[in-house]
Structure 1
Amino acid sequence: MEIAENAALVVVDVQKGFDEADFWGPRNNPEADDNIASLIDVWQATGRPVVFVRHDSRKPGSPLRTGYEGNGFKEYVERRRGKGVGAELLVTKTVNSAFYGTPDLDAWLKGEGISQFVVAGIQTNMCVETTARMGGNLGYDVVVAYDATHTFDLEGPFGWRRSADEVAQASAVSLHGGGFARVVATKEVVESAG
């Protein structure tokens, strides 16, 4: 796998509110936070651009709502912000896609001459998947570091309930099999980018 010299790392919604297990329920990929941190470290060490995305929920009871402690980035992300030598961008959003945030991610990536990006963060099947799908639709070469994402158990229609692992795997199959993105392990990305 080739990671471009100017490939961006898009770190999606790694916020404290996602640690509130009583709200979200069981999660998968316990190693996701370590893998996200390792990706940020490699991107910053190699001078590549990093985009930090924050979800500012408008729902009153959401752990990600603006003004609530859970809206802030997890400590390991906050400690790394502003530490790289490459470009850095903060995007805030109220919907699933980082491409519908402020400032305009697509315009920024194009302005920086970036055609490839790697996605990591929370939740695999929500904001990570939506951002990856839109990136693919917009013509970017999108890579999803699967084990640098996590999600939660989910109930859908007809009383169907799926575990976090099942939901994440379905998301990965849709993204990879559908041609929106290449879904790979963090180790592959780190080795290619380092």
Structure 2
Amino acid sequence: MEIGSNAALVVVDVQKGFEDEGFWGRRDNPAAEGNIAALIDRWQETGRPVVFVRHDSVRAGSPLAAGSAGNAFKDFVEERRGKGRGRELLVTKSVNSAFYGQPSLDLWLTGEARGGAADGQRAQIVVVGIQTNMCNETTARMGGNLGYDVLFVLDAMHTFDLAGPFGWTATAEELTRATAVSLHGGGFARVVSTEDVLGGAAGR
């Protein structure tokens, strides 16, 4: 797998509020945090751009509410911010898509990822973080619609069991699989593994 020299790693909502099991319920993929950390490290070592996205929830009672302890990035993310050789951006949002945050992710990427893309080549973004089927999926879908080459690193993210309509429920694993099939099969993104991406981003 080839990872562009200006491919941006988009780290979505890796915040302490998601550790509240009483609020969110059971999660999948306990390896997510370790894989996210490894990808941030690789991006920073190689001088590629990194985007840290934070969800400032406006929903009453949310563990991610702006100004709350849960709004902060998890420690392993916070301690890595500002440590790379490449450019870095903090995007804050209150909806699912990182492309609807502030400052504009698309405008920033226009100068970063697109600026390093060869003629006729789509700029790359690599999506990791929380939650697989919510903000990660929405960001990936919108990125695909905007013309980015989106890599969706399935084992560097996680989600939670969820109740839906008609008494239906889905486990975190079922939601992860459905998201992967929809994004990959629908052409919004390429669903890949951390190992694939680390190998492709080994040098710059």
Give the alignment's TM-score, normalised by structure 2. Answer: 0.94
Residue 110 of structure 1 corresponds to 110
Tell me the TM-score normalised to structure 1 length.
0.99
For residues 12 and 67 of structure 1, the distance between their equivalents in structure 2, rounded to whole angstroms, comes to 18
Which structure 2 residues correspond to residues 31-110 of structure 1 after superposition, within 5 A?
31-110=31-110
Gaps of 5+ in 1: none
1:132 maps to 2:131: no
Q: Is the 8 A contact 2:49 2:112 kept in 1?
A: no
Counterpart Cα distance in 2 of 1:16 and 1:3: 30
The answer (yes or no) to whether the contact 2:13–2:55 under 8 Å persists in 1 is yes
Which of 159, 167, 176 aligns to 1:151? It is: 159
Distance 2:150 2:160 in 1: 23
Distance in 2 of aligned mates of 1:94 and 1:113: 24
- Quote the Cα distance in structure 2 between the aligned partners of 1:67 and 1:50: 23
The separation in 2 between residues aligned to 1:171 and 1:158, in whole angstroms, is 20
Distance 2:23 2:58 in 1: 16
Over the residues paired in the alignment, what is the CA RMSD in angstroms? 0.6
Could you say what secondary structure the match of 1:89 adopts?
strand
Distance 2:189 2:199 in 1: 19
Helix, strand or coil at the partner of 1:80: coil
SS of structure 1 residue aligned to 2:5 = coil
Alignment of 1:174 with 2:182, yes or no, is yes
Q: SS of 2:79's equivalent?
A: helix
Q: Using the alignment, how far apart are the partners of 2:164 and 2:90 within structure 1?
A: 32
Distance 1:97 1:113 in 2: 18
- Percent identical residues: 70
Q: Please name the residue that 2:28 is paired with.
A: 28
User: Could you say what secondary structure the match of 1:95 adopts?
Assistant: coil
Q: State the SS of the aligned residue for 2:155.
A: strand
C-alpha distance in 2 between matches for 1:107 and 1:23:
35
Can you give the 5+ residue segments of structure 2 that lack an aligned partner in the other structure? 115-122
| 3-state DSSP of counterpart to 1:183 | strand
Deviations 1:164-190 (A, max 9, x none): 000111011110000000001111000
| Residue 60 of structure 1, CA deviation | 1.8
In 2, distance between residues paired with 1:84 and 1:159?
Answer: 47
Runs of 4+ in structure 1 displaced over 2 angstroms?
none
Q: Deviations over 1:107-150 (max 9, x none)?
A: 11002243101000000000000000000000000001100010
Tell me the distance in 1 between the aligned counterparts of 2:21 and 2:82.
29
Is the 2:82–2:88 contact (alpha carbons within 8 Å) kept by the matching residues of 1?
yes
Aligned-residue offset at 1:79: 0.2
Amino acid at match of 2:191: V
Q: Give distance in 2, aligned partners of 1:78 and 1:66.
A: 16
Aligned residue type for 1:173: V
